[in-house]
């Protein structure tokens, strides 16, 4: 192994704690969503939306059974199908592609788990697992309106907004980015979504809210993992604005 390979290996090892990444094994169709791991995507896992009776502590070890028991007739698990019933009388089914998950390449493999409930705003959180990687859905029970996010979200202090942040090294894990969505299904205010470019040299992690219009972030350099600086997303004049590392 040459010097450049050694340096590259050492850099990857040093970044494991802050990478906020999920390896492909976490969402492999052999084990994904059946026995969730007991660690989180982030050093600051979200406690918001965790269902009553859920004893997990991380972003990935949330209990579907606890959520099904809490929401009652609004959601049911029937074999591979997660069935939702909305207040407007409509329904939706999220169907696990179990057969595709058994193939060698597992193309088209996808599994859905109900992993959170926000009773104040009648929101469900659904974890979507693929062969490599995954994402989450916030679903409004009043209308079925859905927002795709990168991680279990954190409420703002007054519970007006929900923010999700995820960054990682490599192709597996959730998409790298930041999502801020209003807690209500009202079309105003608008959602805000940011996806990190492929050549981005920073990993972002949620560090907290400062009021309801300012999200604090910690940014870690992929070139120098010991370098950690601040970043933020701030709402001004009705729009969210990303302020990169400084």
pLDDT at 207 over 90: yes
Cβ–Cβ < 8 Å for 232, 163? no
Report the C-alpha gap between 113 and 96 in whole angstroms. 9
Which pLDDT score, from 0 to 100, does residue 188 have? 74
pTM: 0.82
Tens digit of pLDDT for each residue in 114-156? 999 999 999 999 999 887 778 999 999 999 999 999 999 999 9
Which pLDDT score, from 0 to 100, does residue 173 have? 64
Cβ–Cβ < 8 Å for 29, 37? no
Share of the chain above pLDDT 70, in %: 81
Nearest to 179 by CA among 198, 166, 164, 190: 164
Q: How confident is residue 26, by pLDDT bands cut at 50, 70 and 90?
A: very low
Q: How confident is residue 103, by pLDDT bands cut at 50, 70 and 90?
A: confident
Mean pLDDT of 209-235: 95
């Amino acid at each position: 192994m040459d010097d450049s390979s050694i340096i590259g290996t050492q850099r990857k090892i040093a970044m494991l704690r802050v990478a906020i990444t999920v390896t492909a094994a976490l969402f492999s169709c052999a084990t994904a969503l059946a026995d969730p791991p007991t660690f989180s995507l982030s050093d600051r896992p979200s406690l918001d939306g965790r269902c009553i009776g859920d004893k997990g502590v991380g972003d990935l070890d949330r209990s579907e059974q606890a959520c099904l028991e809490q929401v009652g007739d609004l959601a049911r698990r029937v074999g591979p199908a997660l069935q939702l019933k909305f207040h407007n009388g409509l329904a939706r089914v999220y169907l696990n592609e179990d057969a595709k998950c058994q193939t060698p390449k597992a193309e088209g493999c996808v599994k859905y788990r109900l992993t959170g409930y926000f009773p104040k705003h009648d929101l469900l959180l659904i974890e979507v697992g693929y062969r490599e990687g995954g994402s989450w859905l916030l679903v409004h029970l009043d209308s079925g309106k859905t927002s795709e996010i990168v991680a279990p979200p954190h409420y703002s202090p007054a519970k007006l907004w929900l923010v999700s942040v995820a960054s990682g090294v490599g192709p597996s894990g959730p998409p790298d980015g930041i999502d801020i969505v209003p807690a209500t299904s009202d079309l105003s205010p608008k959602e805000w979504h940011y996806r990190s470019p492929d050549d981005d040299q920073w990993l972002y992690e949620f560090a907290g809210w400062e009021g309801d219009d300012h999200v604090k972030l910690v940014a870690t350099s992929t070139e120098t993992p010991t370098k950690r600086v601040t970043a933020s997303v701030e709402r001004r004049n009705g729009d969210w604005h990303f302020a990169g590392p400084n």
